[in-house]
Each structure stands twice: as C-alpha cells, then as structure tokens.
Structure 1
C-alpha cells in the first residue's frame, strides 16, 4: 500500500501575466483532481521570518502517493501548459512531502 504524499507549492505570481495564471490554473487544477488531489490549503504569505525566499502564496494538496504527483507533471497534457506556467510565475517551487 502506498503512503499518502503532500504536494507543497511556493509561488510568486507575475503581476503582469494574470491571464496566463488564470488559464494555467483553470487547466491544471482538473489534472491534479483527476490524480486524486485533495486540497489542504492555500495561504498568502504575510512575512518571511527565516530565509531569503519570499513566496507570495503556498498551496498544499494531499495525493494518494508520490507517483500520482509526478505523473501529472510528466503528462503530455501538463507539458502543454508549460508556456503559460513560465509566464504566470516569477518563482515557482514544488515539493513532495511524506
């Protein structure tokens, strides 16, 4: 039996590319849901206490396992969204936690 995994996204949005972000979100969220994602939370970051990173938003989702997360990012459908992702975010980090 696979262990549940958490996807943690730290992001800084590009304020000049709101349309790219909207399109990316509208297209990527269903892919994550199809992979079994359960949203845990979406948080705006008010202040960085330790470290030099200043993410604007953190998104946390639970998945059935790590493979389900990786499969989304490696899918051909997701890869078609890469140009929109590149425009939508100034910084984007995605992590898998256990």
Structure 2
C-alpha cells in the first residue's frame, strides 16, 4: 500500500495536467476492483435505474432497452420491479421510469458496464433518455 501511495505522489509531482487526476482515479478504481476480487463471497447489489425518455428518440430508447436487458440477465440479474412513476406523495417527479434489479455479484455488473458490449450501447442510451441515473444499492451491515 505504501508503494502505491508513493506511486501516486510521484505521478502527481511529475504530471502537471488535468490527466493527473484521471490517472489517480484510474489507480483508485483498480484498487477497489482488486479488493472486490479478494472478498469472499461476492458482494451482492441492487441496481436502481431512474430515467425519463427522450420522446424525440424513441427508436434509440427501444434499441437500448432491447439490447441491454439480455446483458443484465446473462450475468444473473433478477428484475424486481419495472415501473412507470404515476403519482408523487411528496417531492417532485423528476423521472418517468424505474427499474430495480438484484445481482449476485456487484463485480459482474461493474465489469458489464465497463465491457465493450455495453459501451457500444451508450450512444443509444444517451439519445434515448433525456435523463438517466444508474445507481448501486448495497445491503447495510
């Protein structure tokens, strides 16, 4: 760990650009990924997606959903809830759709989201939704 910290300090002291911050976050993300690999059993997670469609790009939205759902199911995802938000008791309705899925391994979801297969879907995702949030909810200890 001390060597990793020293490496980060060296990187920050030798690189004087906005790339230094990106390098730090990349190193940090890899460290978190390694910790997840070492944990036994895998960390379970719930994926929560809130979204609003872009009504001008319905085809892109439909293509994204059609292609992303098999990817999520293939890594063990279980759909808990797919809903259209109709009423709000308190607060503002910022989103139209809600998706809740459970996964046996958070690592598998992260790997999927970083995969080439998912990266190829991002243009349709970004066109098809005017707003989308992809969140992880992990069980409390």
Normalising by structure 2, we get a TM-score of: 0.65
From the two aligned structures, give the one with the greater strand fraction. 1
Asked if 1:75 corresponds to 2:118, the answer is: no
* Offset from partner CA, 1:68-93 (integer Å, 9 cap, x none): 11111100011011110111000000
Residues in 1 aligned to 2:89 and 2:50: alpha-carbon distance in whole angstroms: 15
Which secondary structure state, in structure 2, belongs to the residue aligned with residue 92 of structure 1? Answer: strand
From the two aligned structures, give the one with the greater helix fraction. 2
- Structure 1 gaps of 5+ residues are none
Deviating above 2 A after TM superposition, structure 1's stretches of 4 or more consecutive aligned residues are 47-53
- For 1:34, the equivalent position in structure 2 comes to 74
1:48 and 1:54 in contact (8 A); partners too: no
- For 2:47, the equivalent position in structure 1 comes to 7
How many residue pairs were aligned? 98
- Structure 2 gaps of 5+ residues are 1-40
Residues in 1 aligned to 2:60 and 2:112: alpha-carbon distance in whole angstroms: 19
